[in-house]
Structure 1
Amino acid sequence: MPRSRPPAVWFTDEPDRKPRLSRERIVRAAVALLDAEGVEGLSMRRLASRLDSGTMSLYEYVSSREDVVDLAVDAAVAEIELDGGDEDRPWREALARHMTRGRRVMRRHPWLPALMATRPLLGPHALARSEWVYALLHRAGLDGRRLTTAVGALTYYVQGYAGAENLWRTRQRDPAAEGELRRQAQEYLDHREERYPTLARHAGLGDDDFDASFRLGLETVLDGIEVHIRASSRQGGSGATSSAP
Protein backbone atom coordinates (compact mmCIF):
# COMPACT_ATOMS: atom_id res chain seq x y z
CA MET A 1 0.00 0.00 0.00
CA PRO A 2 1.26 3.55 -0.69
CA ARG A 3 2.58 5.39 2.33
CA SER A 4 0.43 8.30 3.44
CA ARG A 5 1.97 11.73 3.88
CA PRO A 6 2.50 12.75 7.54
CA PRO A 7 0.08 15.35 8.93
CA ALA A 8 0.73 18.93 7.82
CA VAL A 9 3.19 20.80 9.98
CA TRP A 10 0.41 23.10 11.23
CA PHE A 11 -1.35 20.16 12.88
CA THR A 12 1.62 19.09 15.01
CA ASP A 13 3.41 20.74 17.93
CA GLU A 14 7.13 21.42 18.07
CA PRO A 15 8.94 18.78 20.15
CA ASP A 16 9.36 19.83 23.77
CA ARG A 17 13.13 19.83 24.07
CA LYS A 18 15.87 22.44 24.26
CA PRO A 19 18.84 21.24 22.23
CA ARG A 20 21.05 23.29 19.93
CA LEU A 21 18.48 23.34 17.13
CA SER A 22 14.93 24.64 17.10
CA ARG A 23 12.21 25.13 14.53
CA GLU A 24 12.88 28.86 14.66
CA ARG A 25 16.54 28.42 13.75
CA ILE A 26 15.69 25.93 11.02
CA VAL A 27 13.12 28.27 9.49
CA ARG A 28 15.46 31.28 9.57
CA ALA A 29 18.11 29.23 7.80
CA ALA A 30 15.58 27.93 5.28
CA VAL A 31 14.45 31.45 4.37
CA ALA A 32 18.08 32.51 3.90
CA LEU A 33 18.76 29.45 1.74
CA LEU A 34 15.66 30.10 -0.37
CA ASP A 35 16.73 33.73 -0.84
CA ALA A 36 20.18 32.60 -1.97
CA GLU A 37 19.36 29.58 -4.13
CA GLY A 38 15.61 29.49 -4.75
CA VAL A 39 13.21 26.62 -4.23
CA GLU A 40 15.29 24.18 -6.27
CA GLY A 41 18.26 24.87 -4.04
CA LEU A 42 16.46 23.96 -0.82
CA SER A 43 17.28 20.45 0.33
CA MET A 44 17.51 18.99 3.80
CA ARG A 45 21.19 18.30 3.23
CA ARG A 46 21.98 21.89 2.25
CA LEU A 47 19.85 23.19 5.10
CA ALA A 48 21.67 20.99 7.60
CA SER A 49 25.01 22.17 6.23
CA ARG A 50 23.96 25.81 6.69
CA LEU A 51 23.05 25.00 10.31
CA ASP A 52 26.26 23.02 10.84
CA SER A 53 24.14 20.06 11.82
CA GLY A 54 23.42 16.51 10.73
CA THR A 55 20.61 16.05 8.25
CA MET A 56 18.79 13.55 10.48
CA SER A 57 18.76 16.07 13.33
CA LEU A 58 16.35 18.23 11.33
CA TYR A 59 13.75 15.48 11.36
CA GLU A 60 13.39 15.85 15.12
CA TYR A 61 11.60 19.14 14.38
CA VAL A 62 9.99 18.67 10.96
CA SER A 63 8.69 15.63 9.12
CA SER A 64 9.84 16.57 5.64
CA ARG A 65 11.18 19.21 3.28
CA GLU A 66 7.56 20.13 2.59
CA ASP A 67 7.16 21.13 6.22
CA VAL A 68 10.21 23.35 5.96
CA VAL A 69 8.80 25.05 2.87
CA ASP A 70 5.45 25.72 4.56
CA LEU A 71 7.16 27.15 7.64
CA ALA A 72 9.45 29.33 5.52
CA VAL A 73 6.50 30.71 3.55
CA ASP A 74 4.68 31.66 6.74
CA ALA A 75 7.81 33.28 8.17
CA ALA A 76 8.22 35.40 5.04
CA VAL A 77 4.52 36.33 5.00
CA ALA A 78 4.97 37.58 8.57
CA GLU A 79 7.09 40.40 7.12
CA ILE A 80 3.96 41.89 5.54
CA GLU A 81 3.28 44.36 8.30
CA LEU A 82 -0.20 44.54 9.78
CA ASP A 83 -0.80 48.11 10.87
CA GLY A 84 -3.70 48.31 13.32
CA GLY A 85 -4.33 51.90 12.27
CA ASP A 86 -5.19 50.73 8.75
CA GLU A 87 -8.55 49.51 10.02
CA ASP A 88 -9.63 53.12 10.51
CA ARG A 89 -8.64 54.18 7.00
CA PRO A 90 -10.99 54.10 4.00
CA TRP A 91 -11.04 50.54 2.72
CA ARG A 92 -9.34 51.41 -0.59
CA GLU A 93 -6.46 53.20 1.08
CA ALA A 94 -5.99 50.42 3.65
CA LEU A 95 -5.97 47.70 0.99
CA ALA A 96 -3.62 49.64 -1.28
CA ARG A 97 -1.13 50.03 1.58
CA HIS A 98 -1.39 46.35 2.50
CA MET A 99 -1.00 45.07 -1.05
CA THR A 100 1.95 47.39 -1.64
CA ARG A 101 3.63 45.96 1.45
CA GLY A 102 2.93 42.48 0.13
CA ARG A 103 4.60 43.24 -3.19
CA ARG A 104 7.60 44.67 -1.35
CA VAL A 105 8.03 41.46 0.66
CA MET A 106 7.63 39.32 -2.47
CA ARG A 107 10.35 41.37 -4.14
CA ARG A 108 12.58 40.73 -1.14
CA HIS A 109 11.90 36.98 -1.34
CA PRO A 110 11.57 36.17 -5.07
CA TRP A 111 10.55 32.56 -4.35
CA LEU A 112 7.51 33.63 -2.34
CA PRO A 113 4.84 34.50 -4.97
CA ALA A 114 4.81 31.08 -6.62
CA LEU A 115 4.77 29.24 -3.30
CA MET A 116 1.97 31.41 -1.94
CA ALA A 117 -0.08 30.48 -4.99
CA THR A 118 0.52 26.74 -4.64
CA ARG A 119 0.80 25.98 -0.89
CA PRO A 120 -1.91 25.64 1.77
CA LEU A 121 -1.53 28.96 3.61
CA LEU A 122 -2.56 27.71 7.04
CA GLY A 123 0.25 29.20 9.11
CA PRO A 124 -0.67 31.72 11.83
CA HIS A 125 0.86 34.69 10.01
CA ALA A 126 -0.81 33.89 6.70
CA LEU A 127 -4.17 33.31 8.38
CA ALA A 128 -3.91 36.58 10.30
CA ARG A 129 -3.34 38.52 7.07
CA SER A 130 -6.13 36.69 5.27
CA GLU A 131 -8.48 37.43 8.16
CA TRP A 132 -7.51 41.12 8.02
CA VAL A 133 -8.26 41.40 4.28
CA TYR A 134 -11.50 39.43 4.48
CA ALA A 135 -12.71 41.42 7.48
CA LEU A 136 -11.91 44.75 5.84
CA LEU A 137 -13.82 43.94 2.67
CA HIS A 138 -16.70 42.40 4.63
CA ARG A 139 -17.06 45.61 6.64
CA ALA A 140 -17.00 47.54 3.36
CA GLY A 141 -20.06 45.62 2.23
CA LEU A 142 -19.07 42.34 0.55
CA ASP A 143 -19.97 38.80 1.49
CA GLY A 144 -20.38 35.39 -0.12
CA ARG A 145 -18.99 34.95 -3.61
CA ARG A 146 -18.43 38.69 -4.09
CA LEU A 147 -16.14 38.68 -1.06
CA THR A 148 -14.09 35.62 -2.00
CA THR A 149 -13.79 36.78 -5.61
CA ALA A 150 -12.60 40.24 -4.56
CA VAL A 151 -9.96 38.75 -2.26
CA GLY A 152 -8.83 36.42 -5.06
CA ALA A 153 -8.57 39.26 -7.57
CA LEU A 154 -6.38 41.28 -5.21
CA THR A 155 -4.26 38.33 -4.15
CA TYR A 156 -3.58 37.00 -7.62
CA TYR A 157 -2.89 40.45 -9.01
CA VAL A 158 -0.18 41.13 -6.43
CA GLN A 159 1.31 37.64 -6.61
CA GLY A 160 1.26 37.61 -10.40
CA TYR A 161 2.73 41.08 -10.74
CA ALA A 162 5.50 40.44 -8.22
CA GLY A 163 6.29 37.03 -9.73
CA ALA A 164 6.55 38.43 -13.25
CA GLU A 165 8.58 41.41 -12.03
CA ASN A 166 10.99 39.14 -10.16
CA LEU A 167 11.49 36.93 -13.20
CA TRP A 168 12.08 39.93 -15.46
CA ARG A 169 14.63 41.41 -13.10
CA THR A 170 16.57 38.15 -12.89
CA ARG A 171 16.90 38.24 -16.69
CA GLN A 172 17.50 41.98 -17.09
CA ARG A 173 20.14 43.17 -14.64
CA ASP A 174 21.74 45.85 -16.84
CA PRO A 175 19.51 48.97 -17.21
CA ALA A 176 21.25 49.96 -20.43
CA ALA A 177 20.73 46.53 -21.97
CA GLU A 178 17.11 46.54 -20.84
CA GLY A 179 16.56 49.95 -22.41
CA GLU A 180 18.04 48.74 -25.68
CA LEU A 181 15.84 45.63 -25.64
CA ARG A 182 12.74 47.76 -25.09
CA ARG A 183 13.77 50.10 -27.90
CA GLN A 184 14.26 47.20 -30.30
CA ALA A 185 10.90 45.66 -29.36
CA GLN A 186 9.09 48.95 -29.93
CA GLU A 187 10.88 49.42 -33.24
CA TYR A 188 9.81 45.92 -34.26
CA LEU A 189 6.17 46.85 -33.63
CA ASP A 190 6.52 50.23 -35.32
CA HIS A 191 7.62 48.50 -38.52
CA ARG A 192 4.49 46.34 -38.38
CA GLU A 193 2.01 49.05 -37.46
CA GLU A 194 -0.36 48.14 -40.27
CA ARG A 195 -0.76 44.65 -38.83
CA TYR A 196 -0.69 45.61 -35.13
CA PRO A 197 -1.80 49.26 -35.00
CA THR A 198 -3.05 49.31 -31.42
CA LEU A 199 0.02 47.58 -30.04
CA ALA A 200 2.38 49.83 -31.97
CA ARG A 201 0.70 52.97 -30.64
CA HIS A 202 -0.29 51.97 -27.12
CA ALA A 203 1.69 48.96 -25.81
CA GLY A 204 4.23 51.29 -24.20
CA LEU A 205 7.16 48.91 -24.42
CA GLY A 206 9.52 51.66 -23.35
CA ASP A 207 7.84 52.04 -19.96
CA ASP A 208 10.08 50.54 -17.29
CA ASP A 209 8.42 52.13 -14.24
CA PHE A 210 7.27 49.01 -12.39
CA ASP A 211 6.10 51.00 -9.36
CA ALA A 212 3.77 53.25 -11.36
CA SER A 213 2.41 50.31 -13.35
CA PHE A 214 1.74 48.36 -10.15
CA ARG A 215 -0.13 51.27 -8.58
CA LEU A 216 -2.27 51.82 -11.68
CA GLY A 217 -3.08 48.13 -11.96
CA LEU A 218 -4.00 47.98 -8.29
CA GLU A 219 -6.29 51.00 -8.70
CA THR A 220 -7.98 49.20 -11.59
CA VAL A 221 -8.66 46.12 -9.44
CA LEU A 222 -9.94 48.30 -6.59
CA ASP A 223 -12.23 50.14 -9.03
CA GLY A 224 -13.82 46.82 -9.91
CA ILE A 225 -14.23 45.86 -6.25
CA GLU A 226 -15.88 49.21 -5.56
CA VAL A 227 -18.46 48.50 -8.26
CA HIS A 228 -19.36 45.26 -6.50
CA ILE A 229 -19.56 46.97 -3.11
CA ARG A 230 -22.04 49.49 -4.51
CA ALA A 231 -24.03 46.74 -6.21
CA SER A 232 -24.13 44.74 -2.98
CA SER A 233 -25.40 47.81 -1.12
CA ARG A 234 -28.15 48.40 -3.68
CA GLN A 235 -29.24 44.76 -3.48
CA GLY A 236 -29.47 44.94 0.30
CA GLY A 237 -26.40 42.83 1.02
CA SER A 238 -24.43 43.08 4.20
CA GLY A 239 -24.39 46.87 3.72
CA ALA A 240 -21.56 49.13 2.64
CA THR A 241 -20.07 51.09 5.50
CA SER A 242 -18.95 54.69 5.62
CA SER A 243 -15.35 53.53 5.10
CA ALA A 244 -16.04 53.17 1.39
CA PRO A 245 -15.12 56.36 -0.49
Structure 2
Amino acid sequence: MARPRKPLLSRERIVSTALALADEEGPQAVSTRRLAAELGVSGPSLYNHFRTKDEILDAVADTVVSQVDLSMFDGDRDWREALTAWARSYRAALAAHPNIVPFLAQGPGRRPAGLRMADAVFGGMVDAGWPPAHATRIGALMRYFVTGSALGSFARGFVDDATAYDPADYPHLGQAHLLAERQHSVDEGAFDTGLRALVDGLAVQFAALAGTEDRPLA
Protein backbone atom coordinates (compact mmCIF):
# COMPACT_ATOMS: atom_id res chain seq x y z
CA MET A 1 0.00 0.00 0.00
CA ALA A 2 1.31 3.44 -0.94
CA ARG A 3 2.13 5.75 1.96
CA PRO A 4 -0.18 8.77 2.37
CA ARG A 5 1.16 11.90 0.72
CA LYS A 6 0.41 13.93 3.85
CA PRO A 7 1.03 12.81 7.43
CA LEU A 8 -2.09 11.90 9.35
CA LEU A 9 -1.00 13.93 12.32
CA SER A 10 0.88 17.19 12.84
CA ARG A 11 1.36 19.75 15.58
CA GLU A 12 -0.81 22.18 13.63
CA ARG A 13 -3.68 19.70 13.32
CA ILE A 14 -3.50 18.82 17.01
CA VAL A 15 -3.48 22.48 18.04
CA SER A 16 -6.36 23.51 15.76
CA THR A 17 -8.47 20.60 17.04
CA ALA A 18 -7.62 21.42 20.66
CA LEU A 19 -8.50 25.09 20.10
CA ALA A 20 -11.86 24.12 18.59
CA LEU A 21 -12.59 21.93 21.62
CA ALA A 22 -11.55 24.67 24.05
CA ASP A 23 -13.71 27.21 22.21
CA GLU A 24 -16.74 24.93 22.35
CA GLU A 25 -16.42 23.27 25.75
CA GLY A 26 -13.52 24.91 27.63
CA PRO A 27 -9.92 23.81 28.29
CA GLN A 28 -11.12 20.96 30.50
CA ALA A 29 -12.38 19.22 27.35
CA VAL A 30 -8.84 19.07 25.97
CA SER A 31 -7.55 15.67 27.03
CA THR A 32 -5.27 13.35 25.09
CA ARG A 33 -8.05 10.75 24.95
CA ARG A 34 -10.59 13.25 23.60
CA LEU A 35 -8.13 14.70 21.11
CA ALA A 36 -7.18 11.26 19.85
CA ALA A 37 -10.85 10.44 19.30
CA GLU A 38 -11.49 13.73 17.48
CA LEU A 39 -8.43 13.23 15.30
CA GLY A 40 -9.09 9.57 14.63
CA VAL A 41 -5.71 8.41 15.91
CA SER A 42 -4.37 6.43 18.84
CA GLY A 43 -3.64 8.31 22.04
CA PRO A 44 0.09 7.50 22.18
CA SER A 45 0.63 9.02 18.72
CA LEU A 46 0.00 12.47 20.23
CA TYR A 47 3.14 12.08 22.32
CA ASN A 48 5.22 12.17 19.17
CA HIS A 49 4.35 15.88 19.05
CA PHE A 50 3.56 16.91 22.64
CA ARG A 51 4.72 15.42 25.93
CA THR A 52 1.79 16.58 28.08
CA LYS A 53 -1.68 18.10 27.93
CA ASP A 54 -0.26 21.36 29.31
CA GLU A 55 2.14 21.54 26.37
CA ILE A 56 -0.85 21.28 24.04
CA LEU A 57 -2.68 24.04 25.91
CA ASP A 58 0.48 26.16 25.81
CA ALA A 59 0.55 25.77 22.04
CA VAL A 60 -3.16 26.60 21.82
CA ALA A 61 -2.67 29.75 23.91
CA ASP A 62 0.31 30.76 21.80
CA THR A 63 -1.69 30.28 18.62
CA VAL A 64 -4.25 32.76 19.93
CA VAL A 65 -1.55 35.28 20.88
CA SER A 66 0.10 34.89 17.48
CA GLN A 67 -3.00 36.55 15.99
CA VAL A 68 -2.20 39.83 17.80
CA ASP A 69 -0.83 42.58 15.56
CA LEU A 70 2.55 43.90 16.75
CA SER A 71 3.44 45.96 13.68
CA MET A 72 2.62 49.23 15.44
CA PHE A 73 5.81 48.87 17.48
CA ASP A 74 8.06 48.54 14.43
CA GLY A 75 8.19 52.20 13.39
CA ASP A 76 8.25 55.65 15.01
CA ARG A 77 4.55 55.68 15.84
CA ASP A 78 3.63 57.68 18.94
CA TRP A 79 3.72 55.32 21.93
CA ARG A 80 0.15 56.23 22.92
CA GLU A 81 -1.19 55.34 19.48
CA ALA A 82 0.88 52.16 19.38
CA LEU A 83 -0.25 51.03 22.82
CA THR A 84 -3.89 51.74 21.97
CA ALA A 85 -3.78 49.90 18.63
CA TRP A 86 -2.00 46.92 20.18
CA ALA A 87 -4.46 46.70 23.10
CA ARG A 88 -7.39 46.60 20.68
CA SER A 89 -5.79 43.89 18.57
CA TYR A 90 -4.87 41.92 21.71
CA ARG A 91 -8.41 42.09 23.05
CA ALA A 92 -9.93 41.10 19.70
CA ALA A 93 -7.75 37.96 19.59
CA LEU A 94 -8.67 37.01 23.16
CA ALA A 95 -12.36 37.86 22.82
CA ALA A 96 -12.58 35.45 19.88
CA HIS A 97 -11.45 32.62 22.20
CA PRO A 98 -12.65 33.55 25.73
CA ASN A 99 -12.44 30.00 27.08
CA ILE A 100 -8.67 29.92 26.71
CA VAL A 101 -8.13 33.31 28.39
CA PRO A 102 -7.78 31.97 31.99
CA PHE A 103 -5.02 29.60 30.87
CA LEU A 104 -3.39 32.26 28.73
CA ALA A 105 -3.50 34.79 31.58
CA GLN A 106 -0.95 32.74 33.55
CA GLY A 107 1.79 34.46 31.53
CA PRO A 108 3.93 33.80 28.49
CA GLY A 109 6.19 31.22 30.14
CA ARG A 110 8.15 29.73 27.23
CA ARG A 111 5.51 30.45 24.58
CA PRO A 112 7.25 32.03 21.56
CA ALA A 113 4.39 34.27 20.43
CA GLY A 114 3.76 35.43 23.98
CA LEU A 115 7.42 36.25 24.46
CA ARG A 116 7.56 38.09 21.12
CA MET A 117 4.59 40.18 22.22
CA ALA A 118 6.16 40.97 25.61
CA ASP A 119 9.40 41.90 23.87
CA ALA A 120 7.62 44.17 21.35
CA VAL A 121 5.62 46.03 24.00
CA PHE A 122 8.56 46.45 26.36
CA GLY A 123 10.87 47.51 23.54
CA GLY A 124 8.31 49.94 22.16
CA MET A 125 7.90 51.65 25.52
CA VAL A 126 11.63 51.83 26.24
CA ASP A 127 12.32 53.18 22.75
CA ALA A 128 9.69 55.87 23.37
CA GLY A 129 11.57 57.03 26.47
CA TRP A 130 9.96 55.09 29.30
CA PRO A 131 12.40 53.81 31.95
CA PRO A 132 12.67 50.00 31.80
CA ALA A 133 10.97 49.50 35.19
CA HIS A 134 8.01 51.62 34.06
CA ALA A 135 7.87 49.79 30.71
CA THR A 136 7.61 46.48 32.56
CA ARG A 137 4.76 47.80 34.70
CA ILE A 138 2.95 49.13 31.63
CA GLY A 139 3.14 45.72 29.97
CA ALA A 140 1.76 44.07 33.10
CA LEU A 141 -0.95 46.70 33.52
CA MET A 142 -2.16 46.33 29.94
CA ARG A 143 -2.19 42.54 30.21
CA TYR A 144 -4.34 42.73 33.35
CA PHE A 145 -6.73 45.13 31.69
CA VAL A 146 -7.03 43.34 28.35
CA THR A 147 -7.32 39.80 29.71
CA GLY A 148 -9.84 40.94 32.31
CA SER A 149 -11.99 42.59 29.66
CA ALA A 150 -11.91 39.43 27.53
CA LEU A 151 -12.90 37.03 30.33
CA GLY A 152 -16.58 37.77 30.14
CA SER A 153 -19.35 40.24 29.47
CA PHE A 154 -20.50 42.71 32.12
CA ALA A 155 -23.73 43.37 30.23
CA ARG A 156 -24.55 39.68 29.77
CA GLY A 157 -24.47 39.29 33.55
CA PHE A 158 -27.85 41.01 33.81
CA VAL A 159 -31.05 39.13 33.01
CA ASP A 160 -33.60 40.26 30.45
CA ASP A 161 -36.37 40.51 33.03
CA ALA A 162 -37.48 43.84 34.47
CA THR A 163 -39.08 42.14 37.49
CA ALA A 164 -35.63 41.02 38.66
CA TYR A 165 -34.78 44.61 39.52
CA ASP A 166 -37.41 45.73 41.98
CA PRO A 167 -36.96 49.50 42.48
CA ALA A 168 -37.59 49.00 46.19
CA ASP A 169 -34.39 46.96 46.35
CA TYR A 170 -32.42 48.45 43.44
CA PRO A 171 -33.56 52.03 42.91
CA HIS A 172 -30.89 52.73 40.27
CA LEU A 173 -31.26 49.58 38.15
CA GLY A 174 -34.54 50.35 36.43
CA GLN A 175 -32.97 49.87 32.99
CA ALA A 176 -30.68 46.97 33.89
CA HIS A 177 -32.87 44.45 32.07
CA LEU A 178 -31.94 46.18 28.80
CA LEU A 179 -28.20 45.62 29.21
CA ALA A 180 -28.15 42.07 27.86
CA GLU A 181 -29.54 43.07 24.48
CA ARG A 182 -27.05 45.94 24.33
CA GLN A 183 -24.12 43.73 25.26
CA HIS A 184 -21.84 44.68 22.37
CA SER A 185 -22.17 48.44 22.74
CA VAL A 186 -21.87 48.30 26.54
CA ASP A 187 -18.84 46.03 26.60
CA GLU A 188 -17.03 47.71 23.72
CA GLY A 189 -17.80 51.13 25.15
CA ALA A 190 -16.49 50.09 28.56
CA PHE A 191 -13.27 48.79 27.01
CA ASP A 192 -12.73 51.97 25.00
CA THR A 193 -13.45 54.14 28.05
CA GLY A 194 -11.01 52.20 30.19
CA LEU A 195 -8.34 52.14 27.50
CA ARG A 196 -8.52 55.90 26.99
CA ALA A 197 -8.36 56.45 30.75
CA LEU A 198 -5.30 54.21 31.08
CA VAL A 199 -3.40 55.77 28.19
CA ASP A 200 -4.29 59.31 29.24
CA GLY A 201 -3.15 58.54 32.78
CA LEU A 202 0.11 57.08 31.50
CA ALA A 203 0.65 60.22 29.39
CA VAL A 204 0.41 62.32 32.56
CA GLN A 205 3.00 60.11 34.26
CA PHE A 206 5.24 60.24 31.20
CA ALA A 207 5.17 64.04 31.21
CA ALA A 208 5.95 64.07 34.93
CA LEU A 209 9.07 61.98 34.31
CA ALA A 210 10.48 64.59 31.95
CA GLY A 211 13.67 66.05 33.34
CA THR A 212 14.01 63.50 36.14
CA GLU A 213 16.85 61.04 36.58
CA ASP A 214 14.40 58.14 36.19
CA ARG A 215 13.73 58.92 32.57
CA PRO A 216 16.38 58.23 29.93
CA LEU A 217 16.62 60.37 26.83
CA ALA A 218 14.06 59.36 24.19
Q: TM-score normalised to the size of structure 1?
A: 0.74
- 2:149 matched residue in structure 1: 161
CA displacement 1:83-132 (0-9 Å, x = unmatched)? 25763322111111111111111111012321122244322211111111
Kept in 2: contact 1:232–1:239 (CA 8 A)? no
Q: Which moved more, 1:204-213 or 1:109-118?
A: 204-213
Cα distance change on mapping 1:58 and 1:181 into 2, 3 Å: farther
- 1:72 matched residue in structure 2: 60
The CA deviation at 1:28 is 1.4
Task: Indicate yes or no: 2:51 matched with 1:63.
Answer: yes
Kept in 2: contact 1:48–1:58 (CA 8 A)? yes
The CA deviation at 1:154 is 1.0
Over the residues paired in the alignment, what is the CA RMSD in angstroms? 2.8
Task: Indicate yes or no: 2:196 matched with 1:219.
Answer: yes
CA displacement 1:203-227 (0-9 Å, x = unmatched)? x956651111100101111122223
1:188 is aligned, of 169, 177, 201, to 169
Kept in 1: contact 2:18–2:56 (CA 8 A)? yes
Q: Quick one: which amino acid aligns to residue 54 of structure 1?
A: S
Cα distance change on mapping 1:119 and 1:59 into 2, 3 Å: farther
For 1:117 and 1:33, the matched residues in 2 are separated by: 19
For 1:137 and 1:186, the matched residues in 2 are separated by: 48
For 1:185 and 1:60, the matched residues in 2 are separated by: 59
- 2:41 matched residue in structure 1: 53
Aligned length: 206
Q: Quick one: which amino acid aligns to residue 236 of structure 1?
A: E
Kept in 1: contact 2:15–2:56 (CA 8 A)? yes
Q: Quick one: which amino acid aligns to residue 145 of structure 2?
A: Y
Task: Indicate yes or no: 2:218 matched with 1:235.
Answer: no
Q: Quick one: which amino acid aligns to residue 188 of structure 1?
A: D
For 2:170 and 2:74, the matched residues in 1 are separated by: 44
For 2:93 and 2:130, the matched residues in 1 are separated by: 27
- 1:127 matched residue in structure 2: 115
For 1:183 and 1:88, the matched residues in 2 are separated by: 52
The CA deviation at 1:183 is 7.8
Kept in 2: contact 1:22–1:61 (CA 8 A)? yes
The CA deviation at 1:72 is 0.6
Q: Quick one: which amino acid aligns to residue 189 of structure 1?
A: Y
Q: Give unmatched runs, 5+ long, in structure 1.
A: 1-17, 191-199
For 2:80 and 2:170, the matched residues in 1 are separated by: 37
- 1:143 matched residue in structure 2: 131
